Protein backbone atom coordinates (compact mmCIF):
# COMPACT_ATOMS: atom_id res chain seq x y z
CA UNK A 1 0.00 0.00 0.00
CA UNK A 2 2.80 2.38 0.92
CA UNK A 3 4.64 1.62 -2.32
CA UNK A 4 1.46 2.25 -4.30
CA UNK A 5 1.10 5.72 -2.68
CA UNK A 6 4.74 6.50 -3.48
CA UNK A 7 4.23 5.39 -7.06
CA UNK A 8 1.10 7.57 -7.39
CA UNK A 9 2.93 10.53 -5.85
CA UNK A 10 5.94 10.23 -8.19
CA UNK A 11 3.70 9.64 -11.20
CA UNK A 12 1.71 12.78 -10.35
CA UNK A 13 4.90 14.76 -9.80
CA UNK A 14 6.37 13.56 -13.09
CA UNK A 15 3.15 14.45 -14.94
CA UNK A 16 3.13 17.94 -13.38
CA UNK A 17 6.76 18.58 -14.32
CA UNK A 18 6.29 17.23 -17.85
CA UNK A 19 3.24 19.40 -18.46
CA UNK A 20 5.26 22.53 -17.66
CA UNK A 21 8.21 21.71 -19.93
CA UNK A 22 8.27 24.10 -22.87
CA UNK A 23 5.85 26.55 -21.26
CA UNK A 24 7.86 29.47 -19.98
CA UNK A 25 6.27 32.03 -17.71
CA UNK A 26 7.02 35.46 -19.14
CA UNK A 27 5.99 38.74 -17.52
CA UNK A 28 3.45 39.94 -20.09
CA UNK A 29 3.64 43.46 -18.67
CA UNK A 30 7.09 43.67 -20.30
CA UNK A 31 5.29 43.73 -23.69
CA UNK A 32 3.63 47.07 -23.00
CA UNK A 33 5.29 49.82 -25.00
CA UNK A 34 6.54 50.59 -28.50
CA UNK A 35 8.65 48.15 -30.50
CA UNK A 36 10.48 48.03 -33.82
CA UNK A 37 11.60 45.25 -36.14
CA UNK A 38 13.51 45.27 -39.43
CA UNK A 39 14.00 42.33 -41.77
CA UNK A 40 13.86 41.29 -45.41
CA UNK A 41 10.49 39.91 -46.52
CA UNK A 42 11.29 37.07 -48.94
CA UNK A 43 7.76 36.68 -50.30
CA UNK A 44 7.46 40.36 -51.25
CA UNK A 45 11.17 40.77 -52.10
CA UNK A 46 11.19 43.96 -50.01
CA UNK A 47 12.80 45.36 -46.89
CA UNK A 48 10.25 45.53 -44.10
CA UNK A 49 10.26 47.82 -41.08
CA UNK A 50 7.68 47.30 -38.38
CA UNK A 51 6.64 49.70 -35.64
CA UNK A 52 4.09 48.54 -33.06
CA UNK A 53 2.51 49.71 -29.85
CA UNK A 54 1.17 47.29 -27.28
CA UNK A 55 -0.95 49.23 -24.78
CA UNK A 56 -1.89 48.40 -21.21
CA UNK A 57 -5.60 48.80 -22.10
CA UNK A 58 -5.36 45.68 -24.30
CA UNK A 59 -5.16 47.52 -27.63
CA UNK A 60 -2.61 46.76 -30.32
CA UNK A 61 -1.39 48.87 -33.26
CA UNK A 62 1.18 47.91 -35.88
CA UNK A 63 2.52 49.68 -38.96
CA UNK A 64 4.50 47.94 -41.70
CA UNK A 65 6.71 49.98 -44.01
CA UNK A 66 7.90 48.15 -47.14
CA UNK A 67 10.61 49.29 -49.55
CA UNK A 68 11.97 47.71 -52.71
CA UNK A 69 14.52 50.50 -53.19
CA UNK A 70 12.23 52.51 -55.46
CA UNK A 71 8.80 52.53 -53.85
CA UNK A 72 7.68 52.71 -50.23
CA UNK A 73 4.31 51.26 -49.19
CA UNK A 74 2.66 51.15 -45.78
CA UNK A 75 0.15 48.88 -44.07
CA UNK A 76 -1.48 49.52 -40.70
CA UNK A 77 -3.36 47.08 -38.48
CA UNK A 78 -5.30 47.52 -35.24
CA UNK A 79 -6.63 45.04 -32.75
CA UNK A 80 -6.37 43.70 -29.24
CA UNK A 81 -3.86 41.50 -27.46
CA UNK A 82 -3.84 38.95 -24.65
CA UNK A 83 -0.85 37.23 -23.11
CA UNK A 84 -0.56 34.21 -20.85
CA UNK A 85 2.65 32.37 -19.95
CA UNK A 86 4.36 31.97 -23.36
CA UNK A 87 1.37 32.76 -25.61
CA UNK A 88 0.60 36.13 -27.20
CA UNK A 89 -2.77 36.30 -28.96
CA UNK A 90 -3.41 39.15 -31.38
CA UNK A 91 -7.01 39.66 -32.52
CA UNK A 92 -6.95 41.92 -35.57
CA UNK A 93 -10.06 44.00 -36.28
CA UNK A 94 -8.90 46.60 -38.80
CA UNK A 95 -6.38 46.78 -41.65
CA UNK A 96 -5.75 50.08 -43.46
CA UNK A 97 -9.00 51.53 -42.02
CA UNK A 98 -11.05 48.54 -43.27
CA UNK A 99 -12.72 46.08 -40.91
CA UNK A 100 -10.96 42.74 -40.88
CA UNK A 101 -11.23 39.87 -38.41
CA UNK A 102 -8.56 37.27 -37.80
CA UNK A 103 -6.56 35.96 -34.87
CA UNK A 104 -2.94 34.87 -34.66
CA UNK A 105 -1.45 33.12 -31.64
CA UNK A 106 2.29 33.50 -31.15
CA UNK A 107 4.73 31.57 -28.99
CA UNK A 108 6.95 33.93 -27.03
CA UNK A 109 10.50 32.60 -27.21
CA UNK A 110 12.25 35.41 -25.31
CA UNK A 111 10.99 38.50 -23.52
CA UNK A 112 12.62 41.14 -21.39
CA UNK A 113 12.38 44.92 -21.04
CA UNK A 114 14.44 45.65 -24.20
CA UNK A 115 13.52 42.98 -26.77
CA UNK A 116 11.36 39.98 -27.49
CA UNK A 117 11.24 37.08 -29.96
CA UNK A 118 8.24 35.10 -31.09
CA UNK A 119 6.94 32.72 -33.74
CA UNK A 120 3.40 32.05 -34.92
CA UNK A 121 1.67 29.04 -33.39
CA UNK A 122 -1.17 29.25 -35.91
CA UNK A 123 -0.20 30.96 -39.14
CA UNK A 124 -3.22 32.59 -40.79
CA UNK A 125 -1.41 32.80 -44.11
CA UNK A 126 -4.54 33.50 -46.16
CA UNK A 127 -4.90 36.80 -44.25
CA UNK A 128 -1.20 37.59 -44.28
CA UNK A 129 0.58 40.05 -46.52
CA UNK A 130 4.16 38.89 -47.10
CA UNK A 131 6.11 36.15 -45.35
CA UNK A 132 4.06 33.77 -43.28
CA UNK A 133 4.68 30.57 -41.35
CA UNK A 134 5.57 29.13 -37.98
CA UNK A 135 9.21 28.82 -39.09
CA UNK A 136 9.71 32.62 -39.06
CA UNK A 137 11.20 34.13 -35.91
CA UNK A 138 10.18 37.73 -35.28
CA UNK A 139 12.52 39.78 -33.09
CA UNK A 140 11.47 43.18 -31.80
CA UNK A 141 13.45 45.86 -29.99
CA UNK A 142 12.00 48.46 -27.64
CA UNK A 143 11.71 51.97 -29.04
CA UNK A 144 13.28 54.42 -26.62
CA UNK A 145 11.45 57.77 -26.50
Q: Nearest-CA neighbor of 59 among 38, 37, 31?
A: 31
Question: In which band, very low, low, confident or very high, does the pLDDT at 126 lie, cut at 50, 70 and 90?
Answer: confident
What is the pLDDT averaged over residues 74-90? 96
Q: Return the CA Rg of the chain.
A: 19
**Is pLDDT of 79 > 90?**
yes
Q: What is the pLDDT of residue 16?
A: 40
* pTM metric for this prediction: 0.78
Share of the chain above pLDDT 70, in %: 81
Q: Is the separation of the CB atoms in 68 and 59 below 8 Å? A: no
Spatial distance between the Cα atoms of 60 and 14, rounded to a whole number of angstroms: 38
Write b or e for each residue in 64-99: b if 16 or more Cβ atoms lie within 10 A of its Cβ, otherwise e.
bbbeeeeeeeeeebebebebeebbbbbebeebeeee
Residues ≥6 apart with Cβ < 8 Å to 133: 120, 123, 125
Q: Residue 1 pLDDT > 50, yes or no?
A: yes
Q: What pLDDT does residue 31 have?
A: 97
**Of 83, 100, 79, the residue nearest 91 (C-alpha):** 79
For residue 63, the cross-strand partners are 51, 76
Measured between alpha carbons, how far is residue 39 from residues 2, 113, 128 in Å? 60, 21, 16
- So where are the chain's domains? 24-142
One of 2.40.40.20, 2.40.128.20, 1.20.1260.10, 1.10.3720.10 is the CATH number of 24-142, namely 2.40.128.20
Instruction: Tell me: pLDDT of 75 over 90.
Output: yes
Q: List, for residues 28-67, the tens digit of each pLDDT value.
A: 999 999 999 999 999 899 999 999 999 999 999 999 999 9
Which residues lie closer than 8 Å to 11 by C-beta, 6 or more apart?
A: none
Amino acid sequence: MRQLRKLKFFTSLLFLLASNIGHANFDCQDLIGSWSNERFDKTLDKDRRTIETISDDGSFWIKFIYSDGDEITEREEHGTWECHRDSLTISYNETNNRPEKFVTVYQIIALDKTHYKLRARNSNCENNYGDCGSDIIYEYFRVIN
